[in-house]
Amino acid sequence: MSGVILALLDRPSAAPKVLAAARRAAQLMGATRINVLAIRTPPIDMVTATEGFLSFPDDGEARAAEGRRIAALAAAFQDWSRESGAPSARREPGTTAAEWIELEGWADQLVDEWGERSDLIVLQRPAANGTEPERRAVHAALFDTGRPVLVVPEEALPSGLGERVAVAWRNDARTTQAVLGALRWLGGAAEMHVMAGAKRWETPPALPPIFSEHSVPATLHVLPMSGQRAFGEALLARARALQADLLVLGAFAHPMLFGPILGGVTKHMLAHADLPVLMRY
């Protein structure tokens, strides 16, 4: 299977892990290209609110700070490119091309534009005190592009990403789409675990037929659902216990006047997941 991956770089500390995850995804997908996008934030987009007032950064100082951030991202890309086995800048038969793309503009617009032309988007898990451009970039990737998004944590990446896969199953269209997309390049995983929630008074769920229909052996795990513990936390705990190196789930949001508000499990994963998470809205 050929394909194009968009690797979105933002924080220099997370860039090596995003690039490593993109390379691993390219291997699994047989992707022919990785576009590595670094977005230079315009000074006007760095406005912050402090004590009820808007704080406008000094234009020269803001541009200098952005220049240092972009330079650090470019250095991470160059180090990654020089590694043994890293994708080549020019595509030759059997290789994956990688291109550095540096643009200034609104993060959500650029992610939407480049993401729609990609088969997979790889980005860092948002920081708890992340910037507004970072938040908009994540929202655009998840809710505007229609593409699967691989969210990479700050923690060390599993060595065999895509070999022990956990699926957070919910019987709806978004989860089905997320799983279908994942099975196209994760069907050869050594282990596939399906985690489904059930309340005490409900009939325990069965293994969804989508796995047998695609000839993918999978093991079902039923997790109790209660109001005493966030279900997202329970999913992460079980995924860790299974030593999963990837978690697949459908992303959920509630429609609001000024944009989607993240669903509980989706919000929990974006805030706390310490393993890579593949989401699809």
Name the residue range of residue 204's domain: 164-280
pLDDT tens over the chain, length 281 residues: 568 999 999 999 999 999 999 999 999 999 999 999 999 988 765 554 444 444 555 567 878 889 999 999 999 999 999 984 555 555 455 578 999 999 999 999 999 999 999 999 999 999 888 788 998 999 999 999 999 999 999 888 888 899 999 999 988 888 999 999 999 999 899 999 999 988 888 888 999 999 999 999 999 999 988 754 578 899 999 999 999 999 999 986 545 434 454 557 888 899 999 999 999 98
**Residue 235 corresponds to which amino acid?**
L
Quote the pLDDT of residue 48. Answer: 47
Quote the pLDDT of residue 258. Answer: 44
Residue 158 included in any domain: no
Quote the pLDDT of residue 58. Answer: 58
Count: domains in the chain: 2
Say whether both 40 and 123 belong to one domain: yes
Q: Of 120, 152, 184, at which residue does a domain stop?
A: 152
For the purposes of burial, counting CB atoms within 10 Å of the CB of 228, is it exposed (0-12), middle (13-18) or buried (19 or more)? exposed
Say whether both 113 and 60 belong to one domain: yes
Residue 159 included in any domain: no
Q: Of 126, 152, 178, at which residue does a domain stop?
A: 152
Say whether both 115 and 26 belong to one domain: yes
Quote the pLDDT of residue 128. Answer: 84
Say whether both 140 and 169 belong to one domain: no
Q: Please give the structure tokens belonging to residue 40.
A: 């230079």
Question: What CATH number does residue 68 fall under?
Answer: 3.40.50.620
Say whether both 144 and 214 belong to one domain: no
Residue 157 included in any domain: no
Task: Find, among 142, 174, 137, the residue nearest to 269 by Cα.
Answer: 142
Residue identified by tokens 């229609």 is 146
Quote the pLDDT of residue 154. Answer: 87
Say whether both 16 and 107 belong to one domain: yes
Q: What share of the chain is helix, strand, coil (3-state, %, to 5)?
A: 35, 25, 40
